[in-house]
Amino acid sequence: MTLTLPTVRRGGALLLTTGAVAAVVNANFLLDRVVGSPVDLGTGVISELSVHGLPGWWLFRLGDGSTGVLGALLGFAAWRSGRRVTGVASVVFGVGTLLSALIPLSCAPSLGGCVGDDPTGFVHDLVSTVGTAGAIVAAAMLVHELRGRSRVLRGTALLVALGTALPGLGQTIDAASGGSGGGIVQQVQVLAVSGWLLLEGVAAVLPRTGRRRRPRS
């Protein structure tokens, strides 16, 4: 028993760090002004930052790819701890995010740099949507899994889950009406996903709760 407890603590600390790092790199769009990107995120979509040739394009792709890998690792950890649905959803998020980094947009529509249809745009949007769906499911499951915890922690998880899911509806309506599907609504969603990633790391260090089975007489 003396060897098991430190191992669990080290593992939990590693997952907490993984969640924290994933949360930070996922919000890489906040560096758009720092690198001098010409993309206006008030009208364009965050994915445009990764278009080859734009300032800092490699940095944004690296951030998204790293988020995908770290998100998948959190998913595997959740699966091994018995949180099956959360594990699968987190891996879906991770793989989808990684693929979106590997298959970026080839042009930035908001800058008028697209001639005809973007050949990779459909695939990029598809894997990004699937990845986001995974995050929505995982964030919702986390609210359920934190039952019995402090109201502050569970309330935070609920806000994060709503912030991950509701903007998707706004983006759909915006895109359907001819908009880009980006803007402040998309930024709120990405920041909410960062919040979920951080909470996933926090959940890994929390002691398990549940009713203990009584020994049979």
pLDDT band at 59 (very low <50, low <70, confident <90, very high): very high
d(CA 26, CA 22): 6
The structure tokens 């009713």 sit at 211
48's CB contacts (< 8 A; 6+ apart) are 39, 54, 105, 108, 109, 110, 111, 182
Query: So where are the chain's domains?
Result: 4-202
Pick the residue with more confidence: 4 or 198?
A: 198
Residue 168: the pLDDT is 80
pLDDT at site 38? 95
Q: For residues 17-24, give the mean pLDDT.
A: 97
Q: Determine the Cα–Cα distance for residues 94 and 90; give it in Å rounded to an integer.
A: 6
CB 200 within 8 A of CB 16: no
User: How far apart are alpha carbons 73 and 76 in whole angstroms?
Assistant: 5
What are the pLDDT digits (tens) for 196-205? 999 999 988 8
pLDDT recorded at residue 211 = 45
Span 70-80, pLDDT tens digits: 999 999 999 99
| pLDDT > 80? residue 215 | no
Asked whether the predicted pLDDT for residue 9 surpasses 90, the reply is no
SS (H, E, C) the chain: CCCHHHHHHHHHHHHHHHHHHHHHHHCHHHHHHHHCCCCCCCCCCHHHHHCCCCCCHHHHHHHHHHHHHHHHHHHHHHHHCCCHHHHHHHHHHHHHHHHHHHCCCCCCHHHCCCCCCCCCHHHHHHHHHHHHHHHHHHHHHHHHHCCCCCHHHHHHHHHHHHHHHHHHHHHHHHHHCCCCCCHHHHHHHHHHHHHHHHHHHHHHHCCCCCCCCCCCC
- Residue 123's φ and ψ, nearest 5 degrees, are -65, -45
Q: What is the pLDDT of residue 160?
A: 97
Q: Please give the pLDDT value at position 28.
A: 98
pLDDT of residue 206: 82
CB 189 within 8 A of CB 167: yes
Indicate if the pLDDT at residue 22 is higher than 90.
yes
pLDDT at 216 > cutoff 70: no
Residue-level pLDDT at 183: 83
> What pLDDT digit, counting tens, does each position of 78-100 carry?
999 999 999 999 999 999 999 99
In this prediction, residues 127-134 reach a mean pLDDT of 94
Across the range 155-159, mean pLDDT stands at: 96
Residue 174 confidence (pLDDT): 64
Which of residues 39 and 8 earns the better pLDDT score?
39
